Amino acid sequence: MSWFYRLAYAIGFTPWDQSETVPGEGDQVLGVLAAQENGEPPPHGRAVDVGCGKGRYSIALAQRGWQVTGVDAVPKALALARQRAQEHRVQVDFVEGDVGRLDHLVAPGADLLLDGGCFHGMSDGDRTRVVRAESEIARSGATLVMVAFHPMAGPGPRGATRDDIVAAYHGWRLVDDVALEIPAGARGPAARARPCIYRLRKL
């Protein structure tokens, strides 16, 4: 799939990564991620943004005091992410590579992983590879926060149900899931696909 994303970023068609702003207080996904901080001051540990794109959440986590690695297969997206991080004066280690080989790209011991839209678009084989790789780099007790669409007809990612996620993540426990709030009047796949935020913990 990396060829598709390379082409999409090359022509500027990235509906999943449109916002030019870094999420802040009030962002629902960031709120779930912030829950991992337990009200403690930074530093909070190591975070990995899986399929980081232009780095919105990587930068937001770095601003909150996480040691962040963002991984993506698209050089143009990473170039934009590095530029953004520099503009926001935060340090993020952006790494080019296949998220299915995270264990070859990122050192083990991650405390927090974020999947903002990778898993729900993958084939069964790619899902198996990324779960294995995430499990290799995550420490015991680590948290994975995932945003995933439900399966739907028409254009858009393949989607994943709650049961799909639970079945794929052997050695992890689903802590909770909550519907992602969609702005009133929104259209397109995100509005039709009932996106959810899932939080899993490695056993």
User: What average pLDDT score do residues 16-37 get?
Assistant: 77
Ranges of H-type helices in 17-123: 28-34, 56-63, 75-87, 102-105
- pLDDT at res. 13: 47
Please tell me the predicted confidence (pLDDT) of residue 9.
46
pLDDT at position 152: 80
Strand partners, 93: 69
Structural domains of the chain, with CATH: 2-202 (3.40.50.150)
Provide the residue type at 47 as one letter.
A
User: Helices (DSSP H) in the chain: which residue ranges?
Assistant: 2-11, 28-34, 56-63, 75-87, 102-105, 124-137, 162-168, 189-192
pLDDT at res. 24: 74
Whether residue 194 is predicted with pLDDT greater than 80 in this model: the reply is: yes
pTM: 0.88
- Closest Cα to residue 91, out of 133, 42, 135? 42
Kindly list the distances between the CA atom of residue 40 and the CA atoms of 15, 24, 48, 49, 177, in Å, as whole numbers in the listed order.
Answer: 35, 18, 19, 21, 24
